Amino acid sequence: MQQTQMPKWKTTPISVSVHLENESPIFGECATHISVDDEGAGTFICLKQVHDDIEKGMVNIGIEELELIFKAAKELISKYS
């Protein structure tokens, strides 16, 4: 009789915050949350900002942030897929 092994647990990062050093990574006025999602059609990147100064559905990204966001997104996708 063959014994079935239980699957092992692992961790996979699916979200990262890009933020100013002196601000909260969760609620900071300039924090941008990058995450991966998959709704069955393939992996894609979601960007979210939580501060009240922008219109709903809009994301403001400064030039300084853009490279960090791109790097984080590439790392997340490589770990997810």
Tell me the residue range of the domain where 67 lies.
Answer: 15-80
- Looking at residue 60, what is its pLDDT? 87
| pLDDT above 80: residue 52 | no
pLDDT for res 8: 92
In this prediction the pTM is 0.79
- pLDDT at residue 59, as a whole number: 86
pLDDT of 1 reads: 67
Report which of 10, 7, 17 is spatially closest to residue 72, judged by C-alpha positions.
17
User: Is 32 in contact with 17 (CB distance < 8 Å)?
Assistant: yes
Residue 2 maps to a domain: no
Q: What is the pLDDT of residue 18?
A: 95
Number of domains making up the chain: 1
Residue 3 maps to a domain: no
DSSP-based three-state secondary structure for 17: strand
Residue 51 lies in a domain: yes
